[in-house]
Chain A
Amino acid sequence: MRRGVFGRAVLVVGLTLLSSSSSAIKPTEHFRLADLEKERSMTPEKFADLFQRFFYELYPKVRPPEDFLWQRAGDCDDYAVLGAYILGRNGFKTRLMQVQLTGSNVDHAVVFVTEKNVYLDYNNRQLRNKLVKSDPTLRDVATLVANSFKRSWTTAFEFTYSYDEGWKKPGWVIVKTNAPDRDADRMSAQQSKPRP
């Protein structure tokens, strides 16, 4: 009788482990937004690993997440906005940042994870180190992003995005030619002002 209960418990644990391992998302598989939303232990590292086989495809607006995941192709803001959304659901404090690079009207969006002082960049999805360590200021992130393009930058801003509203709502904006101590995010951090 006791042996029977023990055997059943082992079976339940085994099945649970099996089901949990089979439910873990793999970069090689197609996965959907619901799969990401279901994942309860999503970390920036895990999230970044999932997109290593995605392709780059420029789109003027932020793509709906299902389209992005189904086509396995998108651009920087698709990835950054989705990252902010999923990591936010897992308790991470994220900041969406967009850097305006010089020439040919190029801008680039990344998502900064405050707890780890790193940002996730779609261009790094195939690299070994997918997360970039940075100070939590817009200027530092902008400088690192511009360096990764071997270019200069002019402005950078923090924004929020809601899939329902469908537009980037800008927050702090900084300008490269201004003195760093005039940067809105730095001044706000010093004065403990809330985010716009």
Chain B
Amino acid sequence: MKDKTLHAIYLLFVIMGAIIVGIAVFAIRAIDRDAESSDWVNQTHATIYELDGMMSELQAGEGMMRTFALTGDVRDFAECRSNYFAVLQHHAVAQALASDNPGIQSSLAELETAVKARIALAASIKELSEAGRGEEVKSTLRRDAETTTVAGFQQTINRLRNGQFELLSERDRESYERAQTTRFVVGLGVVSNLLLFGVVAWLIRDTLASRRKLTQTLEQANIVLEQKVQERTGELIATNRRLTRENRERQWTTLSQERQLRYNHAIVNTVSDLVFVLSKALNVTRLNPVVAHATGLTEEEILGRPIAEVLRLSGEGEGAPAADRLRRAVAEGRELTNYPAELLDRSGKSRPGIISVVPLRDDDMVVGAVVVLRLLSPL
């Protein structure tokens, strides 16, 4: 869940970044387009300026031509000529500006022809004036006034100017539409980014809230766990103390039992009669040192062996075997007292004695027996 939210936030940031980059690229392109458009508008204005320049210089030239006709002053003619050449200069620039427009080019070509004709007219007037043919100058100018050359020039210029103004209007409309598009795109981008930003903020807030809640839950769980650990620790400490005490008591008991056992062994070992401790199967499990002394066998040779190998009850062969009587007495938990028996030594030699058999009980269950043999003859 956490990873998913994090991935969603990353994705939203990537989208926001992409939108910002997109808007930036779009804005830069729009700026470039505006600069380009501005250049085109400037070019249109420049064309209008050149057309106006042609017209104003032509009119100035016309005026100076008539002034020269009146005054005959060569400076006026030079000024007239200069004005006409200025028309050609504007014309050359206008021609370059409108190089992509064949319609304007043809109109400009007509205008150029007209200007050259005016230059030729001015030259002829100069010649007539210098020749002193004033009447011919007047008649030439009169004839020229009847033509529509200058008016036609003016009309062509006006037509071209109007065309340029229409172009300006068109470019202005395009520029406005582009600006509107740019506003819309930038606005859309900003709004989208703000919305995405809101979503990211909401996601972060939600994640933080859930994390806070999780932290609180963890803290509470931790407190409960802490309490349980403390309780359990207390229990363990108490148990440990108890076990330690019990262990110590057990150790004491064991020590006491061991001591008691040693003491019992010492007592048994000090008995002058022969003592055999038997298992329920009548095997010798313990004996005192007198047995080894009396039989000539070592303790290891006797332990674990059947009692019948060293002790034979008297009367065997007269009815039930004596060993059976001993087994039965042990099995039934009966005592035998002062029962005649013989001890067999290593060499197989027997010595008479009297035995007493006492069953060994553990919780009322016979687990073995203690046989005490008193020899009738001294060792």
Binding site for B on A (CB under 8 A): 61, 100, 102, 105, 152, 154-155, 157, 159, 165-170, 173-178, 184
Contact = CB atoms under 8 A, between A and B. Distances in A.
Given A100-B46, A152-B38, A175 B82 contact: no
B356 to A, nearest CB: 140
B53 to A, nearest CB: 8
B180 interface: no
Counting from the closest, the 8 A-B pairs by CB-CB distance are: A173-B96, A167-B85, A154-B46, A170-B92, A102-B42, A154-B42, A177-B43, A177-B39
Given A170-B93, A175-B97, 8 more contacts: A100-B46, A154-B45, A155-B43, A155-B46, A155-B97, A159-B89, A169-B89, A173-B96
Interface centre among A152, A174, A175 (most CB of B within 10 A): A175
Interface string B36-49: 10111011011001
Contacts of A167: 81-82, 85-86, 89
B95 interface: yes
- Among A167, A169, A176, the most chain B Cβ lie within 10 Å of the Cβ of A167
B257 interface: no
Nearest to B92: A170
Contacts of A175: 43, 96-97, 99
10 contacts: A102-B42, A152-B42, A157-B93, A166-B82, A167-B81, A168-B86, A170-B92, A170-B93, A175-B99, A176-B43
Given A167-B85, A168-B89, A178 B39 contact: no
B261 interface: no
A174 to B, nearest CB: 7
Interface in B189-203: none
A155 B46 CA distance: 8
A152 B89 CA distance: 21
Interface string B141-182: 000000000000000000000000000000000000000000
Nearest to A62: B82
A155 B38 CA distance: 14
B78 interface: yes
A157 B96 contact: yes
Interface in B27-74: 36, 38-40, 42-43, 45-46, 49
A49 B325 CA distance: 157
Interface string B82-105: 100110110011011101000000
A111 to B, nearest CB: 17
A155 B47 CA distance: 10
Contacts of B78: 166
Contacts of A174: 96
Summarize B's interface: helix, strand, loop or mixed. helix
B85 A102 contact: no
A159 B45 CA distance: 22
Q: Which of A154, A167, A169, A170 has the most CB of B within 10 A?
A: A154
A177 B40 contact: yes
A169 B96 contact: no
B86 A173 contact: no
B96 A155 contact: yes
B51 to A, nearest CB: 12
B90 to A, nearest CB: 9
Contacts of A176: 39, 42-43
Nearest to A171: B92
Nearest to B46: A154
A155 B88 CA distance: 16
Nearest to B39: A177
A102 B49 CA distance: 10
Contacts of B45: 102, 154
A185 B82 CA distance: 26
A137 B154 CA distance: 35
Contacts of B93: 100, 155, 157, 170, 173
A190 B303 CA distance: 132
B95 A173 contact: yes
Interface string B291-314: 000000000000000000000000
B82 A173 contact: no
B78 to A, nearest CB: 6
A154 B43 contact: yes
A51 B95 CA distance: 35
A158 to B, nearest CB: 11
B171 to A, nearest CB: 12
B92 A154 contact: no
B89 A154 contact: no
Nearest to B86: A167
